[in-house]
C-alpha cells in the first residue's frame, strides 16, 4: 500500500518522475524489496530536512534500518552526487546556460555541532563564537550547489578554501571564483599558481553602511541560508 504524502519534504509526482530513473535498483542479498523506493527517498529527505535521528523516523515510513541501509548503498555508489550533477545541468540548460559552470562563488558557514559530534571533528570558531563544524561550499552563478567540504569550525577560511577549491577544480571546469574578504591574501596567489583558478575578492563599497546585496555574492549566501 502506497503511503500518503503528508510532509513538506515529500517529493511531488513531477519530482519523482525526474528522480526515479536516476536511482539504481539495489537489492539486499536473498531478499525481495518490500518497500517502494519512493517511500525510501521520502524518508531520507525527511531526515535531511528535519535533522532528526534515523531512529526517529515517523512510523508511516519504512523501518529506519531499511532506510539507512538503502541510503548507505546509494552513498557508496555516489548516487546522490550524480543526481545533483544531473539536476544542476537540467536547470542550467533551462536557464539558457552551458551545462557545466565556468565560474563559481565560495563561502563558508560555522554551525553548532550536536553533542554526539566527536571532539576530533569539531572546533571553536572564535570570531562567530561557535563550537562545531564549518561547511565550505562552492555554487555556480545561479546558486546551484557544486562542492561541499565540512571541517572543524576552527579552520580559517583561507585554509579550508584550499581543499574546497581543489575539489571544484577536479570535479568541474570552474576556473573563476568570487569570494568575500575573508578569503583574501595568500589564497588568491595559491589558487592561481596551483589550480590556474582566479579568486576574485568582492569587497564592500567604502560607502556601504549595514547590510547590502552584492550581485556577485548573494546567491551563495542564499544557498547557505
Q: What is the pLDDT of residue 108?
A: 95
Query: What pLDDT shows up at residue 178?
Result: 95
Taken in order of first residue, the domains within the chain and their CATH numbers are 13-77 (no CATH), 98-224 (3.30.420.10)
**How distant, in Å, are the alpha carbons of 35, 88, 91, 187, 213 from that of 138?**
35, 13, 17, 15, 18
Q: Select from 170, 167, 105 the least CA-distant residue to 141.
A: 105
Our CA angle for 188, 169, 195, nearest 5°, is 40
Q: What's the rounded Cα separation, in Å, for the pair 44 and 31?
A: 21
In this structure, the strands spanning 198-201 and 176-179 are parallel
What region does 144 belong to: left with phi over 0, alpha with psi -120 to 50, or beta? beta
Q: Is the torsion defined by CA of 95, 97, 98, 99 positive or negative?
A: negative
Give me the pLDDT at residue 34, please: 82
Q: What is the pLDDT along the chain (225 residues), one digit of tens a residue?
A: 567 888 999 999 999 999 999 988 666 565 667 889 999 999 999 999 998 989 999 999 999 999 999 999 999 999 999 999 999 999 999 999 999 999 999 999 999 987 777 777 889 999 889 999 999 999 999 999 999 999 999 999 999 999 999 999 999 999 999 999 889 999 999 999 999 999 999 887 666 666 666 767 788 888 888
pLDDT score of 1: 59
pLDDT of residue 47: 95
Amino acid at each position: 500500500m502506497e503511503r500518503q504524502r503528508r510532509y513538506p519534504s515529500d517529493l511531488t509526482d513531477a519530482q519523482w518522475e525526474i528522480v526515479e530513473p536516476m536511482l539504481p535498483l539495489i537489492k539486499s542479498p536473498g531478499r525481495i524489496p518490500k518497500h517502494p523506493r519512493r517511500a525510501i527517498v521520502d524518508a531520507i529527505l525527511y531526515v535531511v530536512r528535519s535533522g532528526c535521528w534515523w531512529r526517529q523516523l515517523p512510523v508511516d515510513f519504512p523501518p529506519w534500518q531499511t532506510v539507512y541501509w538503502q541510503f548507505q548503498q546509494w552513498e557508496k555508489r555516489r548516487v546522490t552526487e550524480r543526481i545533483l550533477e544531473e539536476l544542476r545541468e537540467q536547470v542550467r540548460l533551462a536557464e539558457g546556460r552551458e551545462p557545466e559552470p565556468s565560474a563559481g562563488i565560495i563561502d563558508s558557514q560555522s554551525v553548532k555541532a550536536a553533542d554526539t559530534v566527536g571532539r576530533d571533528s569539531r572546533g571553536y570558531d572564535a570570531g562567530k563564537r561557535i563550537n562545531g563544524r564549518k561547511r565550505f561550499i562552492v555554487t555556480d552563478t545561479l546558486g546551484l550547489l557544486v562542492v561541499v567540504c565540512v571541517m572543524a569550525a576552527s579552520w580559517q577560511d583561507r585554509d579550508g578554501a584550499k581543499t574546497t577549491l581543489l575539489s571544484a577544480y577536479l570535479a568541474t571546469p570552474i576556473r573563476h571564483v568570487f569570494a568575500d574578504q575573508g578569503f583574501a591574501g595568500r589564497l588568491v596567489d595559491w589558487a592561481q599558481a596551483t589550480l590556474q583558478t582566479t579568486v576574485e575578492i568582492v569587497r564592500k563599497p567604502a560607502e556601504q553602511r549595514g547590510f547590502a546585496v552584492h550581485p556577485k555574492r548573494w546567491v551563495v549566501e542564499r544557498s547557505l541560508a
